[in-house]
Amino acid sequence: MEDKRGIKRDRLLLVGDELYTIFLILTYLESCGYEVASARSSQNALELLQVTTPDLILFCDDGVPLMDNFTFLKQVRGMSQTSKTPVILISSRNQTLEQAQSLNHEIDAYLVKPFELDDLKERIHSMIKQTVSPIG
């Protein structure tokens, strides 16, 4: 989608069911110029991915119903339109084992709550920039 000046806005998909966290992240990222869609469950997110392709997916795993984060990611990676889409997992679990498993499941970044919104914005910007113009 383009803004009023005709500049393409990066599209993000934010998945999670913790309303306060989703509202906070969504509001902040929209104020930074991103187009942000949100889904309250993994199933809703997969339905959205059938009709739109985001530039990056943010997955908040705290209590997301129906699927665990690795099952969801496996399905995202299995879709041709999102197989290379960067994914950031946001979690309140600060466990080394889970972080290692996340990397094994092709999660591109793992953020532990609490985190700074500016750090999230910089990480999103960097990951989208790498996807658009890869080095090498």
The ranges assigned to domains in the chain are: 11-132
Q: Residue 135 pLDDT > 70, yes or no?
A: no
* Mean pLDDT for the stretch of residues 109-118: 89
What amino acid occupies position 33?
Answer: G
Which of the four pLDDT bands, split at 50, 70 and 90, describes residue 91? confident
The phi, psi pair for 88, rounded to 5°, reads -110, 125
- CATH class label, 11-132: alpha beta
Distance of CA 1 to the CA centre of its chain: 18
Residue 67 has pLDDT above 70, yes or no: no
Residue, of 55 and 89, whose pLDDT is higher = 55
pLDDT classification of 107: cutoffs 50, 70, 90: confident
Above 50 in pLDDT, residue 60?
Answer: yes
Amino acid of residue 132: V
Bridge partners of 109? Answer: 88
Other Cβ atoms less than 10 A from the Cβ of 110: the count is 19
Closest-CA residue to 52 (of 70, 79, 24): 79
pTM of the model: 0.84
